[in-house]
Structure 1
Amino acid sequence: MKILIINKYWYPRGGADVYAIWLAWELERRGHEVVVFSVKHPDNVHPEVPYRFISSVQTEKLNPLSAPKTIARMVWSREAADQLAAFIKTERPDVAHIHNIYTQMSPSILPVLKKYDVPTVLTVHDYGLTSANYSLYDDRGIDKFGSFSSVIRRHGVKRSYIASIIAATVFEFHKRIGVYEKNIDRMIFTTDYVKRLFKVRGWKGDKGTIIPYVVNLGREGLKPQADDGFIFFAGRLHKTKGVHILIEAARRTGLPIKIAGDGPDRKALQKQAGAMTNIDFLGSIPRKDVLDYMRRARMVVVPSVWLEPFGLVALEPQGLGTPVIASRIGGLSEVLVHGQTGLYVEPEDIEGLAYAMQRLWDDPEEAKRMGQLGKRRFKSNYSVGQHMKKIMDVYTELIS
């Protein structure tokens, strides 16, 4: 089978990108032909399969010169559509598996796939198909509505009134023409929570199937868990990840915390930590080092305050035999078994998080037991073999 993988980033910028790149590699490893359609970037992982990269646009800091090009790309990218059409004519894929495409590609590619009779699968990695604010979170907290007016009123996109107007307008245009709902043959949701949320928010397209994420731990997954006496966090340093809550819990307990990652709130978080000697900011580190820290931690903390669609960072430690403390929110609420593979705390509950951290710190045997149970559950429910069978079943159904 020949599978076309489409994602706007081809470097590990976030969880969706890590998954898309891994899936392409795993499909090829299993004997399938894989071709990749993505966007140019200096950090791209060079695919060892046929690929086509289109030009990128500036999205972080718009100015009067770059804004028109970016807005045009968000609405309808002629380049993406034309390049994909040419790529399809050359490669003739059996099925296309789409991940994140908005902004850098736009949904202009979807009618192209339909025109050339390429069945389409889309894995949902966030809420960008239900709201212009793809995280449903802003400086005021969770946006329960995520509507046109709500996103603009709350400055829900990039904390900017102008950016919010642009994003909300583009989203409403795509919604009104139904470009996603009309052109996607099969939706894959990673949790039941996300599937239910799409239904509540009025999604009229394919009802979809649930296939949880899977994690390739590589050689780290074969090593025994080693408690080196620290608590670990890995993720983007952004308000949605709740690192500010973790810092306050660390202030109350005095327990040693290692924080891996970078992001827009790094300086603010370092300022919040101030002279605290029990917090160590590691910066951005390679994935293999992240997994090594996870394996050697007493526990991993995932204090997210937004509606995480899944939370890969809460699954990885379980596969390494390390217990997890996570917020009971969004898709994260389906990743742990409370009291068995880790502990749930309510989001933004500093005292609750501090208590949970202290509990596992004071009882390393309980932490070890939870880690062992987590590893067994990981092997039973999140194996690569199980995941790939479900993915291939979807592909086969669509092309048969």
Structure 2
Amino acid sequence: MKVLVVHNRYRSEQPSGENNVVDQEVALLSAAGHEVRSFERRSDDISSMSLLEKATVPLRVPWNPASRVALAEVLRSDRPDVVHIHNTFPLLSPSVVAACTDARVPAVATLHNYGMVCPPGTLYRDGHLCGECVGRRPFPAVRHGCYRDSRVATLPMAVNVAVNRRRWWSGISRFLCISDAQRQVLIGGGMPAERMVVKHNFVAEPLVRRTLPGEHVLYLGRLTEEKGVRLLMSAWERLDVGMPLLLAGTGPMQDEVERWASTRPDVRYVGLADKARCQELIARAAAVVAPSVWLEAFGLVVVEAMAADVPAVAPAHGAFPELIEDGVSGVLHKPEDAASLADALRQVVAPARNHEMGEAARLRYEKGFTPAIGLDRLVDAYEAAIG
């Protein structure tokens, strides 16, 4: 097949799971013999724009005619069999969907978050879950300033959702949801159920897997409130599991995490790690903890742990119950409950269960999240769209 991948890349200074997923899928398709070309814009380019160009970026979030023209040219010259759209914010816009419709090229779209029914895509604001915009016009988000705590910054995103909703729903042949939990939320917001399929993200075989008993409990991810970092800190205060907690990553809470870690001999903040270092930290862990208080649409770090024979602890909401079989391949805890999280961590590191859970986690990975399975599901979606 000839596949054109459309993606607005996130800033390089901030690690992006979406960028990684796109790159891995492109490599997977190419290795399987498909002809893949990318049509991209990069958020990094905004910094080199003139002041006038920067000022007009928000105006082009809902509709960028230049993107439509540029993509139309590529579609005319390349004639791909299918277009795969990922992120269009902020430089591409949904005008790329119109370009596909004009050229009569079938398009699929991976939904990496809840952006179709929630302007910032998180269903989370002011420290709690929020569904005010689901199934209705998204202007409560503007009132609350949900994106970057700014009404001005949120406005173009809300307009984008409001004016382009029907265009997405009519112009995309298949929506690829990264979990069934996400799919159910989006259907509840009015999206067309018959064109929404679940295609979990896949994880490549890790360079190193766990062979010895774990040395630490690992948190690997963005240091933000919605990721449950503050909840984890509270839970760890209740624990003495005989091994340290390692926190790897960066984000708005970095200074707070560093101060907390400096006061405890059983906590280490290791900063931002590259891919090889991350895999090493996972392979040496007794467990990976992902205590998100918002509804994660997938949970990539949990599957990365599974691939390395490491069980995970996560809340019993969002996508996590699809990934973790509670008490078998990991432990689920009550969302936003520090005591429940502490109890789950005690269970998962107990020597009598830890190795057994790790083996079950690896088996779960092999049955559901390998590159071969990811390729099959991707090609199935393309063929359905073309058909």
Shift of 1:386: 2.1
Residue in 2 that maps onto 1:29? 31
* 2:67 equivalent in structure 1: 80
Aligned in 2, Cα 1:260/1:217: closer, same or farther, shift over 3 Å? farther
CA contact (8 A) 1:225 1:322 kept: no
Q: Distance in 2 between matches of 1:375 and 1:149?
A: 44
1:250 is aligned to 2:236: yes
8 Å Cα contact 1:261-1:282 kept in structure 2: yes
From the superposition, tell whether residues 188 and 170 of structure 1 become closer, same or farther in structure 2 (CA, over 3 Å): closer
Pick aligned residue for 1:57 from 46, 49, 67: 46
CA distance in 2, matches of 1:197, 1:308: 12
1:311-322 equivalences in 2 (<5 Å): 311-322=299-310
Residues 258 and 282 (structure 1), Cα distance of their counterparts in 2 relative to 1, 3 Å cut: same
- Is the CA contact 1:152–1:164 (under 8 Å) kept in the aligned structure 2? yes
Indicate which of 203, 224, 228 corresponds to 1:238.
Answer: 224
* Counterpart residue number, 1:53: none
Which residue pairs with 1:290 in the alignment?
Answer: 278
Letter of the structure 2 residue corresponding to residue 97 of structure 1 = H
Q: Confirm or deny that 1:398 pairs with 2:385.
A: yes
Q: Unaligned 5+ residue runs, structure 2?
A: none
2:335 counterpart of 1:335: no
Select which of 365, 373, 377 maps to 1:386: 373
Pick 1 or 2: higher relative contact order, CA cutoff 8 A, min separation 6.
Answer: 2
Q: TM-score, normalised by structure 2?
A: 0.91
Partner of 1:134: 121
Alignment-derived partner of residue 356 in structure 1: 344
- Taking a change above 3 Å as real, the CA distance of residues 157 and 64 of structure 1, as seen in their structure-2 partners, is farther
- CA deviation vs aligned residue, 1:261-317 (integer Å, no higher than 9, x gap): 111222233345451232212221112211211111010000001110111111110
Do 1:9 and 1:38's aligned partners in 2 also have CA atoms closer than 8 Å?
A: yes
Alignment of 1:119-198 (within 5 A): 119-146=106-133, 148-175=138-165, 178-198=166-186
Give CA-to-partner distance per residue, 1:192-214, whole Å, 9 cap, x none. 21111111111247531112111
**CA displacement 1:331-369 (0-9 Å, x = unmatched):** 1221100000000011221111112212333x2231111
Q: Which of 363-372 and 246-255 deviates more?
A: 246-255
Q: Which residue of 1 aligns with 2:295?
A: 307
- Partner secondary structure for residue 241 of structure 1: coil
Cα 1:260–1:88 change in 2 (3 A) is: same
Give the direction of change, closer, same or farther, for the CA distance of 1:41–1:64 in structure 2 (3 Å limit): closer
Counterpart of 1:284, as a letter, is L
Deviation readout 1:123-171 (Å, 9 max, x if unpaired): 1110001121211111231112235343133321112232223422332
- Partner residue in 1 for 2:6: 6
Q: Distance in 2 between matches of 1:258 and 1:116?
A: 51
TM-score (norm 1): 0.88
Which residue matches 2:20? 18
Say which SS state the counterpart of residue 298 (structure 1) adopts.
strand
- SS of residue paired to 1:303: coil
Aligned-residue Cα RMSD (Å) equals 2.3
Give me the whole-angstrom Cα distance separating, in 2, the residues matched to 1:224 and 1:359. 19
**Which residue of structure 1 aligns with residue 258 of structure 2?**
270
* Partner SS, residue 75 of structure 1: coil
Change over 3 Å in CA distance of 1:272–1:145 after alignment to 2 = farther
| Contact 1:262–1:284 (8 Å) recurs in 2 | yes
Matched residue of 1:246: which SS? helix
Displacement of 1:41 in angstroms is: 6.0
8 Å Cα contact 1:307-1:330 kept in structure 2: yes
Q: Distance in 1 between matches of 2:164 and 2:15?
A: 25
Q: Tell which deviates more after alignment, 233-242 or 12-21.
A: 12-21
Q: Which amino acid aligns with 1:167?
A: M
Moved more, 84-93 or 144-153: 144-153
Deviation, 1:188, is: 1.1
Deviation at 1:247, TM superposition (A): 1.4
Q: Which residue of 1 aligns with 2:196?
A: 208
- Distance, in Å, in 1 between the alignment partners of 2:139 and 2:385 is 38
One-letter amino acid of the structure 2 residue matched with residue 236 of structure 1: R
Matched, 1:94 2:94: no
1:14 to partner: Cα distance: 2.1
Q: 1:351 to 1:65 in 2, by over 3 A?
A: farther
1:114 aligns with 2:104: no
Identity of aligned residues (%): 25
Decide whether aligned partners of structure 1 residues 206 and 73 sit closer, same or farther in structure 2, where only a CA change above 3 A counts: farther
CA positional deviation for 1:119: 0.8
Is 1:281 aligned to 2:269, yes or no? yes
Pick closer, same or farther for the CA change 1:234–1:35 going to 2, 3 Å.
Answer: same
